[in-house]
Structure 1
């Protein structure tokens, strides 16, 4: 049986070690925060895609619409067949689908991204808690050293 790794109590670390630990924790926290923000952006874009599907549902052939290429760039397009939709199914791969299949793909993406958001959100909470513990230990160590210096 493998033994569980034993941690070192924060109170036993030097100020320099606590500082390094705090720096590493902050970097991890920033990484997960960026990941969280990116996932939320994906979720928003997916919601816009679902909304666009609903908007096109009532369109007829020959209908003119503004099609988003990015957040701020739209092109005018004429719908030749509003029942068919071009959907990205992977990195740079698109497929033409009917409305129901396109909606199913967007719903699956939404479910998957939502699970990822929840996972990263849990990690963020834990990292914030860890950062608070390290910060408290650092402050306690500084106060202790200042008190020791003042009594000498």
Structure 2
């Protein structure tokens, strides 16, 4: 059974601790934003794969095409079957699918990535609200400390 996390009231924290906690939130938000960019890039690739598969409907079997080996190296090839695709499903595994199944696979991937992006956006919003509250509280606490310090007398 997992122990419940210990809750700390920010009123009991020093300005240094609040600043450190705010910095941690800044780092987490930055990481989430970076992850969202990566998810958008993956989504764009899957959307491109969907479009490529759908475009193969217009290419006749036996047509000559250029096959990409890398992003900058293409070799000539011939379309043997414009309805069958070899799909990279990760970690070096490939699956043969027909056009409809291929498009469905890529659309499911896009949907999953959209869901993950939405989750990350919500997490950023929550963390940003906490960060704003910490910033406001820190400013109040610093103003309080300044008021409590003795003012130099004017002589």
TM over 0.5: yes
Whether the 8 Å contact between 2:85 and 2:102 is mirrored in structure 1 is yes
**2:8 matched to which residue of 1?**
8
Higher RCO (CA < 8 A, seq sep 6+): 1
Q: Give structure 1 stretches of 5+ with no counterpart.
A: none
* Shift in alpha-carbon separation, 1:142–1:85, aligned structure 2, 3 A: same
Take 2:123 and 2:68, find their aligned partners in 1: how far apart are those partners? 33
What are the residue-to-residue correspondences of 1:72-151 with 2, within 5 Å? 72-73=71-72, 75-78=74-77, 79-149=79-149, 151=151
Aligned to 1:22: 22
- Kindly indicate whether the alpha-carbon contact (under 8 Å) linking 1:61 and 1:81 is maintained by their aligned counterparts in 2: yes
The TM-score normalised by the length of structure 1 is 0.83
Task: Measure, in 1, the Cα distance between the counterparts of 2:69 and 2:139.
Answer: 50
Which entry has the higher C-alpha Rg, 1 or 2? 2
Alignment root-mean-square deviation, CA: 2.5
Aligned residues: 150
How many Å apart are 1:31 and its aligned residue?
Answer: 1.7
CA-CA distance at 1:129 after TM superposition: 1.0
Distance 1:64 1:141, change over 3 A: farther
List runs of 5+ in structure 2 lacking aligned partners: none
Deviation (angstroms), 1:17: 0.5
Give TM-score, length-normalised by structure 2. 0.82
Q: Distance in 1 between matches of 2:80 and 2:3?
A: 65
C-alpha distance in 2 between matches for 1:111 and 1:129: 27
Which residue of structure 2 lines up, in the alignment, with residue 32 of structure 1? Answer: 32
